[in-house]
C-alpha cells in the first residue's frame, strides 16, 4: 500500500470532510430518500432517483477519503529545513521571460489548490523543482509551452 504524503493541515481537512459527509450529509440524504419513497411509485419518482444518485456519490467520496486517510503520511513541514526543494517547501520563482514572481508550496495531491498557492507534488512544476537548490534555473513544460523559472527562495513554514 503506497503512502500518500500530506501536510498536517491537509490531513485535518480530509478528516473534517469525512466527518461532515458521515455525520451531516449521510443522514440528510437518508431522510431525502425516505421522503421521496413516501411519494409512491419508485420507477417514475425523479426525487427518489436523484437522492439515490446523491447517496452513491457521497458514499464513493467517503470511501475515497477513508482510503486517503488510512494511507496518509503526515509530514511536519515546520521541522524541515535546507535550501533544496522537497515536499512541503514554499518556493519563490521568477519567470525568466516575464519577470513575474510566483510563490508555490509543494503539497500532497488532495490538498493542492493553485489559487491558494499550493501545487501537488505530482504536478509538472513541482516535479521540475524537486531536488533543485535556491538560485537554480528550471525548465518546465506547461500548457502554455516551455517556461524557465529561477528559484529565488526556498522557505519552510
| pLDDT reading at 1 higher than 80 | no
Say how far apart CA 145 and CA 123 lie, in whole Å.
15
Q: Catalogue the E-assigned strands of 40-129.
A: 72-75, 90-95, 101-107, 118-120
pTM above 0.85, yes or no: no
Q: Which residue has the higher pLDDT, 133 or 1?
A: 133
pLDDT category at 143 given cuts 50, 70, 90 is confident
CA dist list (Å): 36 to 27, 33, 55, 111: 14, 5, 13, 36
pLDDT at position 54, please?
A: 96
Say how far apart CA 115 and CA 2 lie, in whole Å.
28
Residue written as cell 493553485? Answer: 114
Q: Catalogue the E-assigned strands of 29-113.
A: 72-75, 90-95, 101-107
Give me the chain's average pLDDT, please: 91
Amino acid at each position: 500500500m503506497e503512502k500518500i504524503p500530506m501536510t498536517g493541515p491537509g490531513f485535518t481537512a480530509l478528516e473534517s470532510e469525512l466527518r461532515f459527509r458521515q455525520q451531516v450529509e449521510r443522514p440528510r440524504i437518508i431522510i431525502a430518500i425516505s421522503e421521496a419513497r413516501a411519494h409512491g411509485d419508485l420507477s417514475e419518482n425523479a426525487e427518489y432517483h436523484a437522492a439515490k444518485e446523491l447517496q452513491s456519490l457521497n458514499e464513493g467520496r467517503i470511501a475515497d477519503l477513508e482510503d486517503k486517510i488510512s494511507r496518509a503520511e503526515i509530514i511536519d513541514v515546520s521541522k524541515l529545513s535546507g535550501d533544496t526543494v522537497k515536499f512541503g517547501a514554499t518556493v519563490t520563482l521568477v519567470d525568466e521571460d516575464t519577470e513575474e514572481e510566483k510563490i508555490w508550496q509543494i503539497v500532497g495531491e488532495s490538498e493542492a489548490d493553485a489559487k491558494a498557492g499550493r501545487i501537488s507534488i505530482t504536478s509538472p512544476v513541482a516535479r521540475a523543482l524537486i531536488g533543485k537548490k535556491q538560485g537554480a534555473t528550471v525548465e518546465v513544460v506547461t500548457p502554455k509551452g516551455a517556461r524557465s523559472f529561477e528559484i529565488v527562495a526556498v522557505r519552510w513554514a
